[in-house]
A and B are shown apart, each in its own frame.
Chain A
Amino acid sequence: MNLLLVAPILVPLLTAALCLLAWKSVRVQRWLGVAGSAALLASALALFAEVDGRGMAVSHAGEWAAPFGITLAADLLGALMVVLGGIVGLMVAVYSLGSIDEGRERFGFHPLVQILLMGVCGAFLTGDLFNLYVWFEVLLMASFVLTALGGERAQMEGAIKYVTLNLVSSAIFLAALGLLYGLTHSLNMADVSLRLARLNYPALENLLAVLFFIAFGIKAAVFPLFFWLPASYHTMPVAVSALFAGLLTKVGVYALIRVFTLVFRDDVEFIKELMLVVACLTMAVGVLGAVAQMEMRRILSFHIVSQIGYMIIGLALMTPLALAGTVFYLAHHIIVKTNLFLVSGAVARATGSFELKKSGGLYAAQPGLALLFLIPALSLAGIPPLSGFWGKYILVKAGLESGQVVLVVVALAVSVFTMISMMKIWSEAFWKPHPLGLTPAPVGLLNGPIAAMAAMTLAIGFGVEPVMQLAERSAQQLLEPQTYIRAVLEARR
């Protein structure tokens, strides 16, 4: 159990270290990257099987018992997120073989991706708030370098915005941690949860809840804190932006879920109302931002923002069905969004541009790629029977059950606008002939990960029952934090 829990952190660390040892040989690093990501996915699946079969896995690093040592804990949500991280890591590693230029590879692209994955997995597995901060820093450091690596002009501009706003978020997170520690004298999530329940300082607790909401909200890119995202994601290499699009904002969402189901349980009524408003505005503003864009990755970036809104819905409603919807949506979204970014790279490779006005003719030249675009695109818009439909269906149903009519109307309207955006990409990049009359070039290897992720989208869509059951069980765990708390505090000393 100990090994299973640390493996998703150790495997990428080891891979990164081996990449550094092979610093001179880009080719060795390439294959280490793929092999390491595959091993990460395997270890994540093993952890998931363990958690699924035998319940929560808990390990205290160095046998320093909670609440003093660093706790690693995996419930169903954590294990599921690690698996999704492994999938995205592997797909991006394979995709980067055919798309990253050698200059970036020589300056550490492969080890950086692994360190980013280590940070992501660590954030999903930690049971300690300060340790969560550390993992955030690990993944941010790696992402800062990946954002700026290559040093193109536009890239630097995006990187500065990205770095600045994320540093602000980290500072707020750290300040909140300081206050929380002053209030409860503990940083272990399970322990803090118990201590907060015993304290009676509603004003301070509300302040802390808002600080955490802002800190994670910036990372999750919710309204009105999302501006760094569409400003930077379209400037990076495709493999990097796909990795970020799939995982980084979702780490923020995960942290929100964890903190607001485990740590702040009782006195958070007002933050729930705040979340409802934020969810609506995030969905609406994100999708409206996308309407005005004509660059493929900018459109997709704004859609990340709007989709984050859907995930916040479940957290705001906090009913079993709504939370299950959020978990389902996370899984669906990570796969679909990563895939859409991968497709955008293939489109740019084939037609020579991310600008929709300058591309075209893909449907005639490569109907296969066109189909592979349609699957995640229609899924994102929520067309049955693809995965996005089920995610939206569950959240809308949960919204109706809670009597949140406005929320439901916004969610459905946003879905229509998402469809419009996807059709815009379809008609410009795929349907219309190429403006310069070029025949799109073949994209070769890039099709592999795209097809694999499209297959996963189809699998979630058609095999919705088991995934939904998993999401429901995971929501059940989240709504009964006593199990988590007991598992952490009473684990073998």
Chain B
Amino acid sequence: MNSLILRTTTGFLLSLLVLFSVYLMLRGHNAPGGGFIGGLTATAALTLYAFAFDVATVRKMLRLDPLSVAGLGLVLALVSGLPGMLGGDAFLTSRWALLALPDGTEIHLGTPLLFDFGVYLVVIGVGCAVLLTMAEERGE
């Protein structure tokens, strides 16, 4: 697609959408959201970019092959289950750490976040693998 308007807006939208997807992923532990929805949003952003520009640019932006992104996500999700086992508990038992910032805010960091990030990457990887392949087959 060759549209100046789409290209210009996509430049802004991409960063906004990716930021929003990260926000969705982070709030997912206690509120609607999570790695899956976040991943879908990020995939939508990348697909939009592929429509406005071309598939090759998106592939270059990802740096890794989409399926390798999914593989990385799987590894992260798997790793997130391990800390619990170090303490003698079952696989996937959550572990939390409290991060106190200088201004007094406290952030709960835990293995579920790592798991969610893993899911986020898997969804982006698989989503992009499917969509980009189809977009390429259409003859771009």
Contacts and interface: CB of A to CB of B under 8 A. Distances in A.
A21 B78 contact: no
A63 B90 contact: yes
A6 B72 CA distance: 20
A61 interface: yes
Interface of B: 65, 67-68, 70-72, 74-75, 78, 81, 84-85, 88-94, 125
A62 interface: yes
A14 B65 contact: no
Given A17-B74, A18-B75, A63-B84, A23 B90 contact: no
B74 A2 contact: no
A24 B71 CA distance: 13
A5 to B, nearest CB: 8
B15 to A, nearest CB: 27
Interface in A368-421: none
A2 B90 CA distance: 6
Nearest to A18: B71
A10 interface: yes
Interface string A99-136: 00000000010000000000000000000000000000
B74 A16 contact: yes
B108 to A, nearest CB: 17
B68 A62 contact: no
Interface in A10-40: 10, 13-14, 16-24
Contacts of A234: none
A23 B65 contact: yes
Contact of B71 (A23, A61, A62): A23
Nearest to B91: A6
A74 to B, nearest CB: 14
Contacts of B125: 20
Contacts, number: 61
A20 B92 contact: no
B117 to A, nearest CB: 14
Nearest to B70: A20
Contacts of B68: 20-23
Given A14-B75, A20-B70, A20-B74, A62 B65 contact: no
Nearest to A69: B90
Contacts of B91: 2-3, 6, 10, 59, 61-62
A393 to B, nearest CB: 41
B96 to A, nearest CB: 13
Contacts of B81: 6, 10
Contacts of A61: 90-92
26 contacts: A2-B85, A2-B89, A3-B85, A6-B90, A10-B81, A10-B91, A14-B78, A16-B71, A17-B71, A17-B74, A19-B71, A20-B68, A20-B70, A20-B74, A21-B68, A21-B71, A23-B65, A23-B68, A23-B71, A24-B65, A59-B90, A59-B91, A61-B90, A62-B93, A63-B89, A108-B67
Contacts of B90: 2, 6, 59-63
B72 A62 contact: no
